[in-house]
């Protein structure tokens, strides 16, 4: 794919980015895929400076960059790659990677889907922190939003905006609304940080409605789902014996998904996200809309903007 923008430079009042980060050591875990039901072994490995986050199917010898233009399916998860060489349900790991400020990482799996573990990002945070995170050279880039970009569908929307004066980092405001009484209407605002993510967002689990499970399984989805890795709602009832981890766990998990999906921008976002009833499809469409016009953003490396080049995998 050709470059999305031409090279230009500018000055910025924001501080220069920190050195890029990767893992100190390899770490592995075994789990089951939420939709495939298949057992999969996961390896998280350090990567060289400027590698970015790259997924690799170790059973096929195929690598897929963690990038928005590699997304091929957004039905109930974010899936990258195509044909046999695909990896699904990457959003929980990507949210943890973005929260931990990891720039370069090799993710190896021996199957078509990431392990779901308990349905949250907390197990991935544990793995990343257990392996250790270190600065390893180069300069971290950030993606600054210059003007509003919005996508809509059936009353739902997702939007990226520039910071308010004096703002920095990544702010996320999300609202959801479900007919099920146990969920209803919920809203949450969050400023992304590793500590805040671990405390407020990481433990929020994926969820589904009891009445949708049979249809999902007939469609070949949710084959590995259970009360051990998802919150199941039957109108006003939460069927999980332990109950909810947060009173508003549902919107927090949807916000977790937003972070993971937007991590596929390829660099930390500097700006604001505002969404209502958004999901994986709209989140991905938002990144396509963002990069469709070079006037929407600038990629900052140190104090100089540079072109964002997307090359075919």
For the annotated catalytic residues, the residue numbers are 280
Q: Rounded distance, CA 296 to CA 279, Å?
A: 22
What is the strand order of the sheet 39-46 is part of? 27-32, 39-46, 105-109, 53-57, 62-65
Torsional class of 234: left (φ above 0), alpha (ψ -120 to 50), beta (otherwise):
beta
Residues shown for the chain: 313
For tokens 């997307």, name the residue.
Answer: 310
Q: Which phi and psi (to 5°) does residue 59 adopt?
A: -75, -20
Q: Rounded distance, CA 154 to CA 22, Å?
A: 40
Q: Rounded distance, CA 297 to CA 30, Å?
A: 39
Q: Rounded distance, CA 56 to CA 87, Å?
A: 9
**How many other C-beta atoms lie within 10 A of the C-beta of residue 273?**
24
């Amino acid at each position: 794919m050709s470059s999305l923008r031409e090279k230009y430079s500018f000055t910025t009042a924001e501080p220069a980015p920190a050195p890029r980060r990767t893992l100190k050591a390899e770490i592995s875990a075994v789990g089951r895929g939420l939709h495939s039901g298949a057992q999969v072994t996961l390896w998280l490995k350090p990567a060289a400076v400027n590698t970015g986050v790259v997924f690799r199917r170790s059973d096929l010898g195929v690598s897929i960059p963690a990038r928005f233009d590699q997304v091929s399916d957004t039905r109930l998860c974010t899936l990258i790659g195509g044909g046999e060489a695909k990896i699904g349900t990457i959003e929980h790991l990507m949210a943890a990677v973005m929260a931990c400020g990891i720039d370069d990482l090799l993710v190896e799996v021996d199957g078509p889907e990431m392990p779901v573990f308990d349905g949250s990002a907390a197990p991935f945070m544990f793995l990343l922190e257990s392996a250790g995170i270190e600065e390893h050279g180069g300069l971290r880039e950030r993606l600054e939003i210059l003007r509003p970009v919005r996508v809509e569908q059936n009353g739902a929307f997702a939007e990226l905006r520039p910071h308010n004066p004096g703002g920095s980092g990544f702010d996320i405001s999300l609202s959801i609304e479900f007919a099920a009484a146990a969920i209803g209407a919920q809203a949450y605002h969050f400023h992304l940080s590793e500590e805040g993510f671990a405390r407020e967002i990481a433990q929020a689990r994926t969820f589904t409605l009891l009445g949708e499970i049979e249809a999902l399984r007939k469609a070949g989805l949710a084959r590995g789902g259970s009360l051990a890795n998802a919150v199941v709602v039957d109108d006003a009832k939460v069927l999980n014996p332990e109950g909810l981890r947060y009173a508003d766990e549902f919107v927090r998990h949807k916000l977790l998904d937003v972070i993971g999906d937007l991590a596929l921008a390829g660099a930390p976002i500097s700006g604001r996200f505002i969404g209502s009833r958004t999901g994986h499809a709209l989140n991905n469409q938002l990144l396509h809309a963002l990069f469709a016009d070079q006037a929407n953003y600038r990629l900052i490396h140190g104090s100089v903007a540079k072109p964002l080049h997307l090359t075919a995998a």
